[in-house]
Structure 1
Amino acid sequence: MRFVQDVPHAQFKIGLFAWNSKYIVKIEAGPYEQTYKISEMDLTDPDDVPTMLDEAFLATVAHRFQQMDIDWQATGERNGVL
């Protein structure tokens, strides 16, 4: 996997990578990560990726991270691990 660029953001660590004819957007928050794969055929310029990471999209990402944390805590509690 080849690193392309970091996308600055106050809340998340966002990295853009290229691998196997795809751009891969990795968004991290604490122990959680969301990954989005975009075909190079669909997006010819990696500089377009930050444009796609608009406020509405990142609000959904934040909500998904919250849900991931809720799910993780719940399974830990159910199984007496956390």
Structure 2
Amino acid sequence: MRIIGEIPNPNCKITLYSWNNRYLIKLEQGFLEQTYKIDQFELTSENDLQKIVNTEFINDALSRFDAMATSLQRSLESI
């Protein structure tokens, strides 16, 4: 797996990878992470990843992190 870049964001760490003919977009926030896999042949260049990871994409991912944290907290409270 090769790191091809990072996208600065104050709310989560965003790392871009190239691996097995795929691009991976990995977002990390604390103990939670989200990974999106995109076939390399769907994009014309690595620069297209910057277009995918736009403000709307990041805001949706941050909302998902909130939902993930809530779900995990509920599950932990049930044990």
- Bin of the TM-score, shorter chain as denominator length: over 0.9
Separation in structure 2 between the aligned mates of residue 51 and residue 9 of structure 1, nearest angstrom: 15
Q: CA RMSD in A?
A: 0.9
Divergent runs of 4+, >2 A = none
Q: Is it true that 1:16 corresponds to 2:16 in the alignment?
A: yes
Query: Residue 32 of structure 2 corresponds to which residue in structure 1?
Result: 32
Bigger Cα Rg: 1
What does residue range 33-48 of structure 1 map to in structure 2 within 5 Å? Answer: 33-48=33-48
Per-residue deviation at 1:10? Answer: 2.0
TM, length-normalised to structure 1: 0.90
Structure 1 residues without counterparts, runs of 5 or longer? none
Structure 2 residues without counterparts, runs of 5 or longer? none
TM, length-normalised to structure 2: 0.93
Kindly, what percent of the aligned residue pairs are identical?
A: 34
